[in-house]
A and B are shown apart, each in its own frame.
Chain A
Amino acid sequence: MEIRLEKFCKSFGPVKVIEDLDLTIGDCEMIALLGPSGCGKTTTLYAVCGIHRVTSGRIWFGDKDVTALPPQEKNVGVVFQSFALYPHLSVYENIAFPLRIRKDSRADIERKVNEMAGVLHMEELLDRRPGQLSGGQQQRVALARALVRRPEVLLMDEPLANLDAGLRLEMRSEIRRIQRESGCTSILVTHDQVEAMSMCDRIALMNEGKIQQIGSPDDMYHRPENKFIAGFIGNPPISFADGKVEDGCFVTEGLRIELPDRIKGAAVSAGQNISVGVRPEYLRPDFATPIEGEITFIETQGREVLYDLTLAGGQVFRSIQSGEQVCGVGDRIRWGIDADSVFFFGEDGNRI
């Protein structure tokens, strides 16, 4: 079932949180809603499941207008950011709650709850109360409660944030498997780009109540539409530097990059202010376009080493290289950039 948000707006009193948001999620698709804290991700989820009334705009499930439909009348499973478990009920009863409300038979309830508990490794926790669970355990209960009734739409607000690395990897594929199996259309809110990229078909990047770009993880990473996206996606993050166009080159103090042909003539004129974005993996000793500066910071991450390179003009570029550390802080070095893989942005922030 396709979910479609049309010109969705949401205000809390005078505060406009979401403005004219358009988003279509295809049948059985899983989309990640990615964005900085406070950008309106939870608000969007609440509108989709019907907890909040939308201020204006329409929401469609398939060809049914559900804008004014209360949450009780939609089959939507939600994993809340705060878990929102029922504190007075045991884990078993928490998971069984949607089924009990739906008046499933006892046998059905027992079978489904136990199945869910098995999938999420919670068999031995069923008798506990939420207050007796760790954060990660609570999160799994919330997940089980959302999934147990095979919802048509699954909304997850950072469902894996509290899990340890191993469990998180396992749950990622488990959620994805359940989602594929049941064919529910899902939105996954997350801060974690890796999670977004690895679990979802597409990513919608939000900022300040607006969708910045929707696309596949590859699109986002290699073809960001603007500076915000380029800056948000990628870890360690991309480095930016401001400069000018001179003789078909991007020029700033200590760095000169030849512009690609598609930009050279048409998109920019000499003297124009533009900026460059260089992902850390495209700055290495062996690339062609020279860059000179001083190493000001080094962070060893085990498999990789992270260097901060400060140019004469003060701009800082980051480089990530595998292998052992090749120089020390304070060393003056001359490395290279892969000019084909850098992004140029105009003054409005859009990629040229």
Chain B
Amino acid sequence: MRGIRRFLPALFMLPASLSVTLFFVIPVFMTFVFSFTTMSSDTGILGSRYIVSEATIRTLKDGDLDAALVRQLDSRVFAVNEAGLAALRKSNLKPTVVKEIEEKLSGKVYASEKQLFAALKGLSNRPRSFKDRKMVSKAVVQTLKNREFTTPKEFRAGLASIGIEVTDDVFDVLLEVANTSWKWTTGNYSELMASDFTWKILANTAFYVVLTLFFNVGLALVLALVTFYMPSGQSKFFRAVWLIPRVSPSVIYIMLWRWLSFDGGFMSYILGFFGVQPENWLNEFPWTFVIMANGFVGASMGMIIFASAVVAIPADVLHAAEVDGAYPWQQVRRIILPLMAWPILFITTYQTLSLMTSFEYILLLTDGGPGFFTTEVWALNAYHTALSNYYGNLRYGFGATLAVVLVAVGIAMSLIYLRLFDFKKLVAEPQIEN
């Protein structure tokens, strides 16, 4: 019984610790690991593959490897071996021809098709037509090009099959270049630092987060306070209305914004009465709409938290302020806001983090446009880089790098907030009697 009781707290914590590990620690760690790879849809995410492709040859030519060796890699040889003979037997060449090739030419390797044809000419039952000779050449041709090897050993055997023997040093160079699978790298980070887009997207993100934050925390506070000073029936209705964006599905909510803003939409219609030409307002003022669409949703959440925080302030404290001469505005500034420091900290932190990491409204509204990277924010860029873009090459590794930076900035921001609001002072100290 004692023993069980000792482990009980740990047991209660188990589901929480498990899900934190499962859904936060492990993904963040894996993202961190991936950010040091070159993974993309080209390389795949599985183990190694060695291919000598046109691109490989080009790279090797530019390198300082022996030019003859490179030409050899690019070349074909004609080796009469068991595999080639088996193919010939299945072909519609005369069996006598095949038999003689097997007897006389087995094991021979020719450097060019010309040499192979010359050898064939020397046979008594030789293939007569050019077509038949071509058939033989095709059956016995050996090339390295575009063949896939999964291990270095196989790759070495492949080299041998076209008669290339190399030293280990040279082999390592070949392996390196021919390896098309992902590699470990710190290049993602240096690329990020060097890229001009990084700064553009960073600026976009800061702009978006700061403005939306002011918009939605400010609006939430105003709503909470206005509804606090309203008669209770009206304030309930008012709050319920403000909750609608929160409970409507994102796609429908954004559809409404688009309908509001497109050139045949509600805004153009209303402005039409004032003689304004219809326009696609979303394209004219993309940021305004991005910030408002996100801000209104965020505000409803803040409003609920703030409204309950205001109600929790003892009525007599506000009565005392009234008696001491404070009008509603002074009550708000000197009593209510300071007493709401905690909920404001909470909402600001929460909104900062969620604005930094969530992008679905921007994705649905502008998809980072209009034009190139106009409203592209960090999280959306990570999504575009890693999971969905126009070029088709999904760069998982680079996307992970973007995500890691986001997580790091998020953690840094939370720490700054706790500092800013002086965490220790907010936690009530014990009562001292004397």
B316 near A82: Cβ-Cβ < 8 Å = yes
Q: How many Å from the CB of A81 to the closest CB on chain B?
A: 8
Q: Is B338 an interface residue (CB 8 A)?
A: yes
B431 near A86: Cβ-Cβ < 8 Å = no
Over the window 106-140 of chain A, the binary record of Cβ atoms lying under 8 Å from chain B Cβ atoms (1 yes, 0 no) is: 00000000000000000000001101111001000
Q: Is B428 an interface residue (CB 8 A)?
A: yes
A70-B322, A80-B320 given; A88·B339 CB < 8 A: yes
| Binding stretch for chain B, among A53-61, A95-103, A333-341 | A95-103
Over the window 345-376 of chain B, the binary record of Cβ atoms lying under 8 Å from chain A Cβ atoms (1 yes, 0 no) is: 00000000000000000000000000000000
A76: chain B residues at CB < 8 Å are: 323
Q: How far is the CA of A72 from the CA of B327 in the complex (A)?
A: 7
A102 near B325: Cβ-Cβ < 8 Å = yes
Q: Is B335 an interface residue (CB 8 A)?
A: yes
- The chain A residue with its CB closest to the CB of B430 is A132
Which one, B323, B428, B434, contacts A77 given CB within 8 A? B323
B335: chain A residues at CB < 8 Å are: 86, 88
Q: Is A178 an interface residue (CB 8 A)?
A: no
A132 near B432: Cβ-Cβ < 8 Å = yes
Q: Is A318 an interface residue (CB 8 A)?
A: no
Q: How many Å from the CB of A147 to the closest CB on chain B?
A: 12
B428 near A49: Cβ-Cβ < 8 Å = no
8 Å CB interface, B420-434 against A: 428-434
Over the window 83-98 of chain A, the binary record of Cβ atoms lying under 8 Å from chain B Cβ atoms (1 yes, 0 no) is: 1111111000000011
Q: Is B326 an interface residue (CB 8 A)?
A: yes
Q: How many A-B residue pairs have CB under 8 A?
A: 76
Q: Is A145 an interface residue (CB 8 A)?
A: yes
Q: How far is the CA of A51 from the CA of B322 in the complex (A)?
A: 8
Q: Is B389 an interface residue (CB 8 A)?
A: no
Q: How far is the CA of A229 from the CA of B200 in the complex (A)?
A: 82
Q: Is A71 an interface residue (CB 8 A)?
A: yes
8 Å CB interface, A40-83 against B: 46, 49-51, 70-72, 76-78, 80-83
A82-B316, A86-B335 given; A71·B429 CB < 8 A: no
Q: How far is the CA of A80 from the CA of B321 in the complex (A)?
A: 11
Q: How far is the CA of A131 from the CA of B327 in the complex (A)?
A: 25
8 Å CB interface, B321-339 against A: 321-327, 330, 334-335, 338-339
Q: How many Å from the CB of A128 to the closest CB on chain B?
A: 8
Q: How far is the CA of A83 from the CA of B316 in the complex (A)?
A: 8
Q: How many Å from the CB of B312 to the closest CB on chain A?
A: 11
Give the interface size class of chain B: 20 to 34
A49-B323, A71-B323, A72-B326 given; A131·B316 CB < 8 A: no
A101 near B330: Cβ-Cβ < 8 Å = yes
A134 near B434: Cβ-Cβ < 8 Å = yes
A102: chain B residues at CB < 8 Å are: 325
Q: How far is the CA of A102 from the CA of B323 in the complex (A)?
A: 12
Which one, B316, B326, B432, contacts A101 given CB within 8 A? B326
B433: chain A residues at CB < 8 Å are: 134
A101-B330, A133-B431, A134-B433 given; A84·B319 CB < 8 A: yes
Q: How many Å from the CB of A50 to the closest CB on chain B?
A: 8
Q: How far is the CA of A295 from the CA of B8 in the complex (A)?
A: 60
Q: How far is the CA of A70 from the CA of B327 in the complex (A)?
A: 10
Q: How far is the CA of A132 from the CA of B323 in the complex (A)?
A: 24
Over the window 286-317 of chain B, the binary record of Cβ atoms lying under 8 Å from chain A Cβ atoms (1 yes, 0 no) is: 00000000000000000000000000001011
Q: How many Å from the CB of B98 to the closest CB on chain A?
A: 99
Q: How many Å from the CB of B424 to the closest CB on chain A?
A: 13
Q: How far is the CA of A101 from the CA of B323 in the complex (A)?
A: 11
A82-B316, A84-B316, A86-B335 given; A132·B429 CB < 8 A: yes
Q: How many Å from the CB of B345 to the closest CB on chain A?
A: 14
A98 near B324: Cβ-Cβ < 8 Å = yes
Q: How far is the CA of A133 from the CA of B74 in the complex (A)?
A: 89
A86-B335, A88-B339, A132-B431 given; A80·B325 CB < 8 A: no
A86-B335, A131-B428 given; A71·B317 CB < 8 A: no
A78: chain B residues at CB < 8 Å are: 319-320, 323
Q: How many Å from the CB of A176 to the closest CB on chain B?
A: 22
B434 near A145: Cβ-Cβ < 8 Å = no
Q: How far is the CA of A133 from the CA of B433 in the complex (A)?
A: 6
A80: chain B residues at CB < 8 Å are: 316, 319-320
A98: chain B residues at CB < 8 Å are: 324-325
Scoring A50, A84, A102 by chain B CB atoms within 10 A of each residue's CB, the highest score goes to A84
Q: How far is the CA of A71 from the CA of B326 in the complex (A)?
A: 9
A71 near B316: Cβ-Cβ < 8 Å = no
- The chain A residue with its CB closest to the CB of B330 is A101
Q: How far is the CA of A202 from the CA of B434 in the complex (A)?
A: 35
Q: How far is the CA of A267 from the CA of B55 in the complex (A)?
A: 127
Q: How many Å from the CB of B254 to the closest CB on chain A?
A: 40
B326: chain A residues at CB < 8 Å are: 72, 97, 101
A86: chain B residues at CB < 8 Å are: 317, 320-321, 335
Scoring A72, A83, A133, A134 by chain B CB atoms within 10 A of each residue's CB, the highest score goes to A72
Q: How many Å from the CB of B126 to the closest CB on chain A?
A: 105
B431 near A87: Cβ-Cβ < 8 Å = no
B430: chain A residues at CB < 8 Å are: 132
Chain B residues with CB under 8 Å of chain A are: 314, 316-317, 319-327, 330, 334-335, 338-339, 341, 428-434
Can you give 25 contacting A-B residue pairs, CB < 8 Å? Answer: A50-B322, A70-B322, A71-B319, A71-B322, A72-B327, A77-B323, A78-B323, A80-B316, A80-B320, A82-B316, A86-B321, A88-B335, A97-B321, A97-B324, A97-B326, A97-B334, A101-B326, A101-B330, A128-B432, A129-B429, A131-B428, A131-B431, A134-B431, A137-B434, A145-B320
